[in-house]
Amino acid sequence: MPNNTLMSDPIVQSHQAVREATDRSMLGLVVEQARRFAAREIDPIAFDRAAQLPRRVLKAAAEAGLFGLAIPESYGGLALSLGDICQVVSELATRDGSFATSIGLHNGLGTRGLIAYGSQSLKEKWLPKLASGEAIASFAATETGAGSDLMAIRTTLTPRGEQVRLDGEKSYVTNGGFAGLYTVLARSPEMGGARAHSLVCVPRDTPGVEVGAEEHKMGLRGSSTVTVSFDGVMLPMENVLGTSGQGIAYAQHILTWGRTIMASGCIGAARNALNAVLSYVIERKQFGRSIGHFGASRAHVATMAAKLWAMEAMVERTGIEDINGGSIDGISGATKVFCSDEAFDICDRAIQLHGALGFLSDLGVERLLRDARVTRIFEGANDVILVFAGTALIALSRSDAGRRCHATVEPDLEEVARAWERVEQELQESLDRVRKKYGVKAIRHQLVLQRLARAHIALQAASASLWRARAVDAVARSVARLSVQQLLATAKENLSTLESSEIDESNHLQVTEALYRLGAMPQPVRA
Amino acid sequence: MNSHVNNDQSKRRQRIIALVAEILELDDPKSIKPTDRLREDLGMDSLGSLELLSTISEELKLDLEMEDAMGISTIEDACAFVEHHYAEQHPNE
């Protein structure tokens, strides 16, 4: 094992340590620069009201290097890892979700396909421009008839001699209004088989590309969301990424990055909400005391911190798994679902703690909730990801599922670590019961699948929380402990409702059949 | 008797292939070969495979266990799997 021998060499280890320390220190500088940039240039309330990001801010972001985070150094970027990009994006999102979304999308969904699968010449042509911010990247997969179901895409890519022709229309294209390059997912039945899809890079100025007007949105109003249509757009064959026909597989990889980066944006929103609460609950007095000293408020604040701890742990762990070369297909979906759900809950609690003031837009807390809402929908609706995750869980054989043990935990977290193992055992037993009870028909029971997935995700988050609490101070350990305790309660609650799933499903069926037939809520008819 | 059994088997096989075509949105079920692998050749993910077997189990009133189903690789495997369980659970037909 030559690698092991090399890595055990103390000199090599020391070089490795120096390199890692240098990388850490560079990341620290980039994050600090992002924080200063955000404080100086970003006015979240103004962007929200104007429903756009000023051009000068995008230009300043380009000058600050924020468009080159993911791009290899040889093309003028910083070549940051997924985990490091997440740290920068969460820092930006602490100031403003719209701006962080634009930067995050460019560095994730927008450029990932070109970096991972683009030809040398395509990369040479575009990556320097994308790194400098001369061109901004966008990703176009969704259509009006194809959201979570990517196989329903109707946009087509067909070979025409040395070129390809693109026809169709994409909806909800983030960054679409100011993007210079779109990565588009299209059906390509003549390129890779009847069910084949391909990814193709489309420069905005190509004849036949038409960019629609900005959508009016509930949140992330400063970000750009448009429809982009392609009418007989002719492109060189080299603009097709990687092997033609592999578009869905490539898109799934690109989505692992997109979902993780999006989750880091959720962290920023949650951090912002918690910071706003911490300064308010001490200052605000009712019944002669700071409201933060009431037990009901403490419950909210402590829960917000515990949830934020777990969100940060999930994103950090996903980033590390990606660096280690493991598949992040499953965990990036779990991280996305977990962080988007928790960010919304944290922002909601922040409004509650601010009382009527939280409802006013000048404070900016209500904007956090509006901005957070869509994260539970885009890049895969949480409901759908949960069904897929539940299906994947029951399709795994027991040995595949495994039990992730925590080799070392802090002594005062031992008790919750053991509790984690007991609940994990309960999950495995529940999975066995579901497999046995329903067989292959389990996929017809979406409520069961979602409850299993929710339990599993809560356990993953609890595991990440424990892992993140290695060698941390007492305050952090107390936050981590609460986080694990609350997540185990969530997992147990989901497992305990499995038994009643059939009754619940039957009730849901009965009520919805009547409502769908009537088309409205019926008024009760009394005898 | 034998021709009756073979006829039923052939119908079930055709139904499996038609369902695969339906799930994969293929216009022509004839393009599917028995040796095609569900994942590698046809691009069917685990959800698609479960959808196929779940529909078959409902139509043919069969109990199909999840763990056994995971070993299916090709169209031929799927047909043999269904026939095996059909013979076991409907011995008089």
* Interface confidence (ipTM) of the complex: 0.78
Higher pLDDT, A9 or A346: A346
* Of B24, B42, B54, Cβ closest to residue A443: B54
User: pLDDT at position A6, please?
Assistant: 42
Strand A225-236 relative to strand A209-211: parallel, antiparallel, unpaired? antiparallel
User: In the numeric block, which tokens belong to residue A470?
Assistant: 């290695």
**B31 in contact with chain A, both atoms CB, cutoff 8 A:** yes
Distance (Å, whole) CA B27 – CA B19 = 12
Has A426 been annotated as catalytic?
no
% pLDDT > 70, chain A: 94
Tell me A240's DSSP state.
B
Share the mean pLDDT of chain A: 93
Contacts of A248 in chain B (CB under 8 A): 43
Is residue A246 helix, strand or coil? strand
Q: Chain B: nearest CA to A199, how far in angstroms? A: 17
**A442 in contact with chain B, both atoms CB, cutoff 8 A:** yes
**Residue A513 near residue A501, CB atoms below 8 Å:** no
User: In the numeric block, which tokens belong to residue B63?
Assistant: 């109990």
* Of A248, A397, A443, Cβ closest to residue B50: A443
Closest CA to A447 of A504, A382, A511: A504
Higher pLDDT, A50 or A152: A50
Q: Do A395 and B63 touch (CB under 8 A)?
A: no
Triad A417, A447, B85: Cα angle to 5°:
100
Distance (Å, whole) CA A49 – CA A78 = 33
pLDDT per residue as tens digits for the range A16-28: 666 666 677 788 9
Distance (Å, whole) CA A205 – CA A114 = 18
Domain with CATH 1.20.140.10 in chain A: 381-521
User: pLDDT at position A193, please?
Assistant: 81
DSSP chain B: -HHHHHHHHHHHHHHHHHHHHHHTT-S-GGG--TT-BTTTTT---HHHHHHHHHHHHHHTT----HHHHTT--BHHHHHHHHHHHHHHH-TT-
User: What CATH number does domain A381-521 carry, 1.10.10.60, 3.30.70.3270, 1.20.140.10, 3.30.830.10?
Assistant: 1.20.140.10
pLDDT per residue as tens digits for the range A199-242: 999 999 999 999 999 999 999 999 999 999 999 999 999 999 99
Q: Do B50 and A440 touch (CB under 8 A)?
A: yes
CA torsion through residues A52, A57, A63, A67, sign:
negative
User: pLDDT at position A4, please?
Assistant: 39
Contacts of B85 (CB under 8 A, 6+ apart): B62, B63, B64
**B47 in contact with chain A, both atoms CB, cutoff 8 A:** yes
Chain B residue closest to A433 (CA)? B66
**Residue B42 near residue B24, CB atoms below 8 Å:** yes
Domain with CATH 1.10.540.10 in chain A: 2-132
Beta strands in A145-220 (DSSP E): 156-160, 163-174, 181-187, 197-203, 209-211
User: pLDDT at position A407, please?
Assistant: 61
* Of A248, A395, A444, Cβ closest to residue B66: A395
Question: Which residue reads 């597989």 in tokens?
Answer: A249
Q: Do A440 and B58 touch (CB under 8 A)?
A: no
Chain B residue closest to A445 (CA)? B54
Q: Does domain B2-89 have CATH number 1.20.1050.10?
A: no
Contacts of B64 in chain A (CB under 8 A): 439-441
Q: Do B26 and A195 touch (CB under 8 A)?
A: yes
**B89 in contact with chain A, both atoms CB, cutoff 8 A:** no
Contacts of B53 in chain A (CB under 8 A): 440
Distance (Å, whole) CA A406 – CA A58 = 44
Q: Chain B: nearest CA to A393, how far in angstroms? A: 11
pLDDT per residue as tens digits for the range A373-425: 999 999 999 999 999 999 999 887 655 454 555 667 888 999 999 999 999 99
User: pLDDT at position B1, please?
Assistant: 47
What is chain B's pLDDT, residue by residue, as a tens digit (93 residues)? 456 667 888 888 888 888 888 887 777 788 888 888 888 788 787 778 888 888 888 888 888 887 777 778 899 988 888 888 888 888 877
Contacts of A436 in chain B (CB under 8 A): 65
Residue A290: how many other CB atoms lie within 10 Å: 14
% pLDDT > 90, chain A: 87
**A391 in contact with chain B, both atoms CB, cutoff 8 A:** yes
**B26 in contact with chain A, both atoms CB, cutoff 8 A:** yes
Interface test with B, best of A440, A446, A448 (most B CBs within 10 A): A440
**A178 in contact with chain B, both atoms CB, cutoff 8 A:** no
User: pLDDT at position A10, please?
Assistant: 52
Instruction: Using the predicted structure, report yes or no on whether residue A132 has a pLDDT greater than 80.
Output: yes
Question: Which residue reads 């969460």 in tokens?
Answer: A90
Distance (Å, whole) CA A29 – CA A179 = 28
Identified catalytic residue from A379, A421, A424, A493: A379
- pLDDT confidence tier of residue A8, bands split at 50, 70 and 90: very low
Instruction: Using the predicted structure, report yes or no on whether residue A517 has a pLDDT greater than 70.
Output: yes
Contacts of A230 (CB under 8 A, 6+ apart): A155, A166, A167, A168, A169, A170, A184, A202, A208, A209, A210
Distance (Å, whole) CA A174 – CA A100 = 12
Q: Do B54 and A392 touch (CB under 8 A)?
A: no
Residue A109 Cα distances to A291, B29, B87, angstroms:
43, 35, 50
**Residue A367 near residue A361, CB atoms below 8 Å:** yes
Q: Do A439 and B57 touch (CB under 8 A)?
A: yes
Q: Does domain A137-245 have CATH number 2.40.110.10?
A: yes
User: pLDDT at position A7, please?
Assistant: 44
Distance (Å, whole) CA A277 – CA A468 = 24
So where are chain B's domains? Answer: 2-89
Tell me A524's DSSP state.
P
- pLDDT confidence tier of residue A195, bands split at 50, 70 and 90: confident
**A192 in contact with chain B, both atoms CB, cutoff 8 A:** no
Structural fold of domain A2-132: Butyryl-Coa Dehydrogenase, subunit A; domain 1 (1.10.540)
Contacts of A145 in chain B (CB under 8 A): none
Contacts of A151 in chain B (CB under 8 A): 25
